[in-house]
Structure 1
Amino acid sequence: MPTPAVSFEFFPPKSLAGSFRLWDCVSTLAPLAPEWVSVTYGAGGTTRELTREAVGAIGAQFGLRVAGHLTCVDASRAETLAVAEGFRAAGVEDIVALRGDPPKAADGFTPHPDGFRNSVELIGALADRGFNVGVGAYPDVHPEARDAQADIDWLKAKVDAGAREAITQFFFDAETFLRFRDRCAAAGIDAPIVPGLLPIEDWAKASRFAEACGATIPDDLRAAFEVALRDDRADLLAIAQAAELADRLVEEGCHHLHFYTLNRPELTRDVCAALGVVPRPSLSRVA
């Protein structure tokens, strides 16, 4: 079985302790030679400057290709594009363009009066400026989507607007992704669709994430974690579950896997090792 390419998502630190944790996470995973890594963008743009600083520092210190996340929330077009150009000034030409989650106190997404109305408009503007644009995709139905076909139609619109690659929301059943990939192909979507995987470091937190984003948790997985938590074997189950899922995807022709690390590298590192993705000493941290 071929060894897949991998990529990793991090989030920017909000404290000194968070900065150390991010740095430790990147230091642990950088030697695995990821295709690229990305840094998230907080709800309502709350981590705007932190994201810019993190993408620049990771690229400079580790020599990695870095993508900055960018959203449409609570900013004018000029402000949003200024953030994009700030990424470029930091040496970043790759952007993951998302509509974004509204601030916690908001009742749903409301476009800024002078802002992008949706992710398709943002993608088009970034593509016109020469950025390499990645976008989100949803194997399980997005909570705000009318139905599964609406998610396919929206992804097609994003690719037509200039997106070069899609990264899926995490899922727990390979068939969920494979059926989604087939429907995308039937709709004429020809951009690569990279499956996103979440090694389950914290079952309660992962369950909340899944509920918020509409990701289905299989009954047998839920039952298995209940037993594993009782027996203090949750980490072993998490590695086995993610490795089995990843292995099935690679068997089905997925040559690139994206990992949501939550700035906790150990499980992701161990799953990658099970797939044959191991450290390359020459790619350790740049002095």
Structure 2
Amino acid sequence: MKRRSPIALTASQRNRRAFTLIELMVAIVIILILLGLLIPAIGAVRLRAQQAQVRTEITNLEAAITAFKADFGMDPPSFINLYEDGSATWDQHSKSLIRKMWPQFQFGINRDINNDGDTSDTFELSAGECLVFFLGGVFDSTGKAPNGFSKNPANPFSIASGGTNRQGPYFEFDTSRFTDIDSDNAAEYKDAFPSQQLPYLYLSSYGGRGYRTAELPSIPALGVNVTNVYHQGTPGDPLGPAYKPKSFQIISPGADSQYGSGGNYDPDKNFPSGRTVEADNMTNFTNGSLK
């Protein structure tokens, strides 16, 4: 009588050892379900980490503004015209601001603020452009990095190759995140969200005298139409008191690169239809995103 090898398997045993098609499909479905649960969780963790980075950066910008104020007696303005030509007639708003920051400023001398070889330019700085200029200062002689302001009280906008005899910069900008959304050759600064397209907004209350809606950006081609700073109140109701009424607002457009329109904001109420893009905005008057 023939004996089977003790390691030989019968056909039924071989079938039991292998996955059936149904078992394989069930395993794949389970894996896909687990991935469907895991991927959003990973995305949420990544978003929270990015938000924490931006929140820290906003805090550092606030500290930089405090340091600037300690040196110059006021928060940076959020709108100003700068004239290179010593014979130019300065507008009263800009001249008054310069006098407050640099009482010995000599308006009658020519200066080449952007180091382009002439003294004929006029710079209109607003919102995010003011944040970069006043916290960074004029760029160094290479044109690559902000280099603070000269300690010469008559000509603080003179350019130097290094950091000697300078005030500032007050914030360490990552130059790779500079942008110029209105193409006027004045730098603005994007937050740390990946693929961010729009810069931080900075709006000054001018020491409590009030926010100026004329300083808010409007670039329809980019979908930018901010009509007001943020106020305390129910969206849709008449404007309540502004947040940070005696200092300034810093606004990040969030991960979706959209500011929204601004206006009333209540942390206990949802934004109405049409303003949902503002829910992920980050500011210096909230601990995280607006909602």
Instruction: From the two aligned structures, give the one with the greater helix fraction.
Output: 1
Q: TM-score, normalised by structure 2?
A: 0.28
**Which of these two proteins has the greater Rg computed from alpha carbons?**
2
